[in-house]
Amino acid sequence: MTQSDDIDDFARDKLAGLEAAHLRRRLFPTKRLPQGGAERDGRRLLSFCDNDYLGLSTDARVIEAARDAAGLYGAGAGASRLVTGECPLNRELETKLAALKGLEAARLFGSGYMANVGVIPVLAGPGDLIVMDALSHACLHAGAKLSGADVATFAHNDVADAARLLKAHPERRRALVITETIFSMDGDRAPLAALNALCNEEGAWLMTDDAHGFGVARLDNPAPVQMGTLSKAAGAYGGYVCGPAAFTELLVSRARSFVYTTGLAPAVLGAALRAVEIIGDEPALGAAARAHARRFAEMLDLPAPAAAIVPLVIGAADRALAISERLADEGFLVSAIRPPTVPAGTARLRFTFTADHRAEDVEALARAVRNALAIEMEMS
């Protein structure tokens, strides 16, 4: 077989297809500022689409900790933690994370994505079964696929469906059930107690992804394996998984995205460490973000959110984009979330709230959304 088209033609053709389907994605240089501020194209906007739920990415204490750590330990890690020896901040952060999560031990990863693609293949492999919520994040699906286990998805938050799938595979060796705690694009929460009871009944393990719960909503979480990210409420970067000490030790030898990659930069470790301390010391921050989300949902008659995410499902991708643009004209930065990030036909606006938003701005946003929706209705 010959490969006739060159890469440029190939890519242009693909881009044109995405453009026609309103699914082409674009990057916009944006300067992020405290209190949800954002500067783009010389315009000052107020962002309601950051996952920086506590405003810690621009917190002076966190920035100073990043600077101090870089001064002490350098700009980069030098190599994998296994090769050069690790920056001591890794251990310190792992100890703090495990304590905050109430689990025995923690292991850091380069990002939440890298944690999931590394951890899942350690827990399950060929001959095993992974049963996961259909709305699980792309990196959970990627980790499941990489594991080589049989993968089945259950209807969102449907414990009976998960039970059906576990019982439908009697030939399986081990089984791993995976869910998010707070769902990233829907803002609702998983039935953790019921899923855990099911796992106990069926002899399966439960693993949760707490990317959007950590620091925002403290949930009763019985899962023995709990991963999360330091790039959202912690305002920095990196991923982690907490669980039994022997399991986190096994990851050092077996998780490929731990072994074959460079350790986190000292500045990132320093920032995350300070942020995790603040999260532990100041639960009022998470409560403030949740209160803004609740108020906004109330004003628009939307279901009460479980944490700091409120989705407004529009349906068609082009309509979601049009409403997002209308909100930008009013000074609000809210991105349209389109397939394949969300299922086809459920393009939406995803509003997120941070502890340092002002109540009057949240209310102004709700009014602007109401107006934008009314205009969209008239036009369609």
Ligand X SMILES: *Cc1c(COP(=O)(O)O)cnc(C)c1O
Buried b (16+ CB within 10 A) or exposed e, 264-282: bbbbbbbbbbbbbbbbeee
Q: Is 209 in the site for ligand X (CB under 6 A)?
A: yes
Q: Is 153 in the site for ligand X (CB under 6 A)?
A: no
Among residues 59, 186, 209, 356, the one annotated as catalytic is: 209
Q: Is 113 in the site for ligand X (CB under 6 A)?
A: yes
**Angle of helix 138-147 relative to helix 112-123, nearest 10 degrees?**
30
Q: Is 293 in the site for ligand X (CB under 6 A)?
A: no
Q: Is 189 in the site for ligand X (CB under 6 A)?
A: no
**Of 28-36, 110-118, 188-196, 371-379: span binding ligand X (CB under 6 A):** 110-118
In the bound complex, what is the minimum distance in angstroms from residue 322's beta carbon to ligand X?
25
In the bound complex, what is the minimum distance in angstroms from residue 232's beta carbon to ligand X?
6
Residue nearest to ligand X (CB): 112
Bridge partners (DSSP) listed for residue 352? 309
**Active-site annotation holds for 212:** yes
Question: What is the contact mask toward ligand X in residues 306 to 325, using x (rule: CB under 6 A)?
Answer: --------------------
Nearer to ligand X, 135 or 322 (CB): 135
Q: Is 36 in the site for ligand X (CB under 6 A)?
A: no
Nearer to ligand X, 177 or 372 (CB): 177
In the bound complex, what is the minimum distance in angstroms from residue 377's beta carbon to ligand X?
31
Rounded CA-CA distance 234/295 in Å is 23
Among residues 136, 186, 188, 232, the one annotated as catalytic is: 232
Among residues 90, 184, 196, 257, the one annotated as catalytic is: 184
- Max Cα separation, the chain? 63
Nearer to ligand X, 131 or 366 (CB): 131
**Of 61-69, 108-116, 263-271, 309-317: span binding ligand X (CB under 6 A):** 108-116
- Cα–Cα distances (Å) from 300 to 36, 287, 295, 329, in that order, read 21, 20, 9, 20
Supply the DSSP string of 224-289, one letter for each residue: SEEEEESSSTTSS--EEEEE-HHHHHHHHHH-HHHHTSPPPPHHHHHHHHHHHHHHHH-HHHHHHH
**Of 95-103, 206-214, 289-297, 316-324: span binding ligand X (CB under 6 A):** 206-214
**Active-site annotation holds for 150:** no
Q: Is 338 in the site for ligand X (CB under 6 A)?
A: no
Strands 239-243 and 105-109: antiparallel
In the bound complex, what is the minimum distance in angstroms from residue 136's beta carbon to ligand X?
7
Distant-in-sequence, close-in-space partners of 292: CB < 8 Å, separation ≥ 6:
308, 353, 354, 357, 359, 362
- Cα–Cα distances (Å) from 12 to 15, 27, 304, in that order, read 5, 17, 43
From 115, 126, 278, select the one nearest 207 (Cα to Cα). Answer: 115
If binding means CB under 6 A, how many residues of this protein chain bind ligand X?
13
Supply the DSSP string of 64-102, one letter for each residue: HHHHHHHHHH-SS--S-HHHH---THHHHHHHHHHHHHT
Residues forming the site for ligand X (CB under 6 A): 111-113, 137, 139, 180, 184, 209, 211-212, 229, 231, 239
**Catalytic positions, please?**
51, 137, 180, 184, 209, 212, 232
